[in-house]
Amino acid sequence: MPPFLPAYEPPHHRRTALAVGIAPLVVLLVFTGIVMHWVAVDTGLAILLACTVWVAHEMHVFQRAVDVYNAEYVSRHLQWRRSETIAELMDSPATGAPARAFATRFLDCDRELLADGRLPEGRLP
């Protein structure tokens, strides 16, 4: 069996997607309640703040989980391999598209693991 790049399966974003999907609906309902005089203004602003904190927290937790997963993936599977070997493995039909995309970003950054979404110094998106 030829060597391969393991599947790249970062943590799932279910909780973050739930927060990002539900919070705006809650805020909309609360502000509708404020306009209809069902909810006090200070209560509505407190709920807005709570929704903002909830979404920011979930996004932060998800981003940290992805960054930790990426660091572990690199240390387990990519760090000890030469760049040429990784490039050859990326061309293998057994390598999945997510693993290929991650390894491409890793090689494009000169084998430096960056926080997800960051670019190397001097490179524009």
Q: 2-51, pLDDT tens digit by residue? A: 567 788 899 999 999 999 999 999 999 999 999 999 999 999 999 999 99
pLDDT score recorded for residue 111:
80
Local structure of residue 11 (DSSP, 8 states): P
Q: Are 97 and 125 in contact (CB under 8 A)?
A: no
- The token pair at 61 is 């937790």
pLDDT score recorded for residue 75:
85
User: pTM score, two decimals?
Assistant: 0.75
Nearest residue to 4 (alpha-carbon basis) of 105, 103, 89: 89
> Helix 83-90 crosses helix 97-108 at what angle (to 10 degrees)?
150
**Cα–Cα distances in Å, from 99 out to 5, 27, 50?**
7, 38, 37
pLDDT score recorded for residue 39:
95
For the cut 50, the answer to whether the pLDDT of residue 82 exceeds it is yes
- The token pair at 24 is 């705006």
The average pLDDT across 99-105 equals 87
- Indicate the SS3 state at residue 57: helix
pLDDT band at 56 (very low <50, low <70, confident <90, very high): very high
The average pLDDT across 59-81 equals 89
